[in-house]
Amino acid sequence: MMTLPKPRVKVVLALLMIILGVLPKNLIIIGGNLIIGTTLLFIYRIPFHAFIKQLKPIAFFMLFTFLFFPLYEGGHGWIKALQYSGRLLFVAQMLTFVFYRLGVPAFLQVLAEIRIPSIFIELMMFTLRFMDVFRTEVRQMLLSLRSRGFYTGNWFQVKKYWVLGGLLGSLLLRSFQRSERIYLGMLSKGYKGERTSLKPEMIPRTEWLHCVLWVGCVLCLFFVGGKQ
């Protein structure tokens, strides 16, 4: 067992492995990537519940592939569903490795340290921030509806879905207005779209060597599969 590497090594390693892991179409190569990802999580002692946490948001998309592709493409649809699901599982493994004991602010700071363009970092930051804004607005509006006696029930009723459709439009307007207020508030506090750079932490060469070894395993598997 080994201790987790520094955040910069984790992010660089995960980004490279995700890029290489979503390219192959051979199921044997995808399975090999999943074995490498599982070994990575086991060696760095990352608990299984952390992987389940990252898997929950994409479980629906994995189920959708097994419903959609067999109906759309017939017998070959199962192969394509396995391809997409295997890639998503590998991405979930890498995201588990990255975000275990690493918060989103630290992740964004690492992206700035490895010279990712600031526009992409700010877009990610605002996307995550406004997802919370939408979630808060939805919770408040549903609470307001329930306080007025609104109940969806178990059967389809046009009237109730008409109310929910109007709720969706109101949600869009309220969230847009609130996002404008947040942005104006940030501008009034001196926001310029630039992140303050901190002094990068010194990283031992052995950790970069681990990064090269893990990426090398996925890279060798990728090229071996490409020659078959």
Would you say the C-alpha torsion 121, 126, 132, 134 has a positive or negative sign?
negative
CB 218 within 8 A of CB 36: yes
104, 128 contact by CB (below 8 A): yes
What is the rounded average pLDDT of the residues 111-124? 81
The CA distance from 107 to 102, in Å, is 7
Structure tokens at 62: 């994995």
pLDDT at 41 over 70: yes
State pTM to two decimals: 0.74
Residue, of 28 and 126, whose pLDDT is higher: 28
Residue 200: pLDDT band (50, 70, 90) is low
How many C-beta atoms surround the C-beta of residue 88 within 10 A?
17
What pLDDT is stored for residue 139 in this prediction?
Answer: 80
Q: Examine the pLDDT at 192 and tell me if it is beyond 90.
A: no
More confident residue, 163 or 3: 3
